[in-house]
């Protein structure tokens, strides 16, 4: 079953326009991340970097989604490369992202007071 969880708001970015940042931890999420919705609020930045990852509280730090130079509201459907038994990436083979950890959301290179809302389509 797929559930929509969120929105989780980053709070206001602090700093000067073009270099403001905010970094928050949200609750522990468990399951398969089928999608991530992102909505930029406030005076949308020309471009900003959004990094969403498992924090490493219950497992290793794990990237979920990185949007570089973004400012457009959108849904993303992240996948990660599958590793073979030898630990090497299997080219062109992907799987959805699985998570069981506290999730961290970081907004960088934004404008002062910008916020981002984030939703997760999470399959349990």
Domains of the chain, with CATH numbers? 2-123 (2.60.120)
Measured CA to CA in angstroms, residue 78 lies from 18, 42, 55, 62 at distances of 26, 25, 17, 12
SS3 113: coil
What percent of the chain is modeled with pLDDT above 70? 100
SS3 108: strand
Q: What is the pLDDT of residue 14?
A: 94
Residue 9 reports pLDDT greater than 80: yes
DSSP state at residue 96: E
Closest CA to 124 of 100, 95, 89: 100
CA angle, 122 then 101 then 2, to 5°: 10
Q: Which residues contact 85 (CB under 8 A, 6 or more apart)?
A: none
Residue 76 reports pLDDT greater than 90: yes
Residue 48 reports pLDDT greater than 80: yes
Structure tokens at 2: 């797929």
What does pLDDT average to over the chain? Answer: 92
């Amino acid at each position: 079953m797929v559930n929509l969880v969120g929105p989780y708001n980053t709070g206001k970015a602090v700093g000067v326009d073009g270099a403001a940042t905010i970094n928050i931890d949200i609750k522990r999420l468990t399951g398969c991340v089928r999608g991530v919705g992102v909505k930029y609020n406030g005076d949308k930045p020309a471009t900003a970097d959004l990094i969403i990852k498992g924090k490493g509280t219950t497992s290793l730090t794990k990237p979920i989604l990185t949007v570089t130079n973004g400012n457009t509201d959108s849904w993303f459907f992240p996948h990660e490369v599958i590793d073979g038994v030898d630990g090497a990436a299997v080219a062109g083979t992907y799987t959805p992202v699985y998570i069981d950890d506290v999730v961290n959301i970081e907004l960088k290179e934004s404008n002062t007071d910008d916020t981002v809302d984030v939703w997760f389509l999470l399959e349990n």
